[in-house]
Each structure stands twice: as structure tokens, then as C-alpha cells.
Amino acid sequence: MNIKAILFFFAVVVIGLSACTKTDGDLAVTNKSTFLSVINASADTLNFYQNGTRLNNSSNLYPFGLLSNLSVTVGLQNFQFKKAGSPNALVDAPNTIKADSTYTLIFAGETTDQVFLLTDHFLIPDSTAIIRFVNASATAGSLDVTIGSAFNYKNQAFKSATPFVKVPAGKNRLTIYKSGSTTPLITPGDLTLVGGTSYTLYTKGSLNGTGNNVFGARILISTQF
């Protein structure tokens, strides 16, 4: 028999056996993902990265702005912030992400200890509004917060967040105090809240700040999945 024919036949048999013995373990693995929102509670204009890939490709993350429901890979991830226009990392924020949760990442300042991750525990929406409070002011100390008559939380330290709470739709009076004080840190005012909508109310800035760094509160809609 021709030696070339023998070698060709042997190669075909080996390839065929190899194809027949593939197992499920040879299938491509699909990385799981979940959703992450990013709140910029600082006066910086930023770009946001996951493992070196920029995620806010359509625009910068402006002061007190929101990136809503970004799709992120689960597992240990290195999130990173850079100032807009700069190639240098401003803050690295490694965090472990789980597939069965959604998250909000808060950027409150230019050091790692001022960037923190919240797990979102949304409530089922109904005719009421749903709101939580986050203390994102690093120098304000613990805070007492009331929103209307249904929301009253005390001693909220920096980086802490209340649960989402149902409050009546419409106007609700907001007051924020330094814990133990009866003097409001900001002028009390009404929040007009829409039924069936989830909100995140957060503080920003410094008690002695000026311009964009002055102490205050901002509210954003939190979209849930």
C-alpha cells in the first residue's frame, strides 16, 4: 500500500476520534453579567472603566451625574476612575460583583476610601414613591434625615445608605441635620416625588466647601431591573 495513503488514513481516523470525544467542558464559557449604576457625588468630571475598558463611551460623567444600569461582568473586577482628558488613573476601586444582585457605585472623592459600592435592594413599585438616602459627604459626619412623615433615619455615617422606603407620592418636606442637632444643614424644602418611581437622595460636598464643593443634597432616579 502507498505510504502516503496510509498516513492520510491514519490522520483522518485521529481527527475523527478527537471530534467524537469532545465533552461539555470544551464548550465556550460565557461570562455572566449584571447591572451597575455609578453616581458621581464629586465636583470632578470623570470617565469610568472596568478592567481597563471605558464604559461611558457616549459622554463624560459630569459632577453629580449618573451612569445608569451599565452591564458589568461578575467576579472580582477592577473599576477605575480617570479625570476627563487624562490617561492617568485617579482612583482604583476593586470590587467583587455577584450575578444575583444589582449595584450602585458612589464616587465621593479622589481617594479609594471615598469610593464605595452599594447593593441595590429595590422594592416592588406601586402608587407610592420609593426613596433611599446615601451619605456621600466625607467631612459632614453622621446625619439625621427626614422626608415627609414616612422617612426618618438618624446617625447615617459617611458611606452608609438607608433601605429603600415607600413614601407618599407628591410633595414631601426634606430636612437634613448633623446628628443630634436641631439646626438644618440645608434650608428645608419640598421634594416632589412621582408614584411608582425609585429615587436615590445623596449628600455631597463639604460643610466648609465653596462652589461645587459646598455641602448639599441631590436626588436621582434609580432604575431597577
Q: What is the model's pLDDT at position 30? A: 58
Residue 109, number of CB atoms within 10 A of its CB: 21
- All CATH 2.60.40.1120 domain ranges in the chain, comma separated: 121-225
| CATH classification (class only), 121-225 | mainly beta
For residues 38 and 105, the answer to whether their CB atoms sit within 8 Å is: yes
Confirm or reject CATH 2.60.40 for domain 29-120, answering yes or no: yes
Is pTM beyond 0.75 here? yes
Q: What is the model's pLDDT at position 5? A: 44
Express each pLDDT in 103-148 by its tens digit. Answer: 999 999 999 999 999 999 999 989 999 999 999 999 999 999 999 9
Alpha carbons 167 and 177: distance in angstroms, whole number:
20
Mean pLDDT, rounded, for 191-209: 95
pLDDT > 80? residue 89: yes
**Which residue in this structure is represented by grid cell 476627563?**
84
For residues 160 and 135, the answer to whether their CB atoms sit within 8 Å is: yes
Alpha carbons 60 and 46: distance in angstroms, whole number:
6
pLDDT > 90? residue 65: yes
Percent of the chain with pLDDT over 90: 81
3-state secondary structure the chain: CCHHHHHHHHHHHHHHHHHHCCCHHHCCCCCCEEEEEEEECCCCCEEEEECCEECCCCCCECCCCEEEEEEEECEEEEEEEEECCCCCEEEEEEEEECCCCCEEEEECCCCHHHEEEEECCCCCCCCCEEEEEECCCCCCCCEEEEECCCEEEEEECCCCECCCEEECCEEEEEEEEECCCCCECCCCEEEEECCCCEEEEEEECECCCCHHHECEEEEEECCCC
Q: What is the model's pLDDT at position 17? A: 37
Q: What is the model's pLDDT at position 209? A: 87
Q: What is the model's pLDDT at position 25? A: 52
166: confidence class by pLDDT, cuts 50, 70, 90: very high
pLDDT > 70? residue 67: yes
